[in-house]
Amino acid sequence: MSGLATMLPYFVVIAMASTAVVLFTGLWAMGFDDETGAGYSNLLMRWRVGMQGLTVALMALNFVLTGY
């Protein structure tokens, strides 16, 4: 098994944890009523979508390289 295929599950877990952190930070920022909180939560939700895409791409790559 190549080095990438060995390390890829760890990258998937890191990406999943990062997605969760961005998600909950964005939810927390939505709790503020001022304009800054709204803009910040919108930015964080866009980051969440990007992190989810990265996580799915890493999971697909892991599936292709390892077969499970």
Average pLDDT, the chain: 88
Tokens of residue 61, six digits: 């790559």
CA distance 20 to 31: 17
- pLDDT at residue 52 above 90? yes
Using a 10 angstrom Cβ sphere, with 0-12 exposed, 13-18 middle and 19 or more buried, the burial of residue 59 is middle
pLDDT band per the 50, 70, 90 thresholds, residue 1: low
Answering whether pTM is above 0.75, one says: yes
Cα→Cα distances 10→14, 34, 46, 61, Å: 6, 38, 24, 13
Q: How far apart are CA 51 and CA 3, in angstroms?
A: 23
For the residues 8-23, what does the mean pLDDT come to? 95
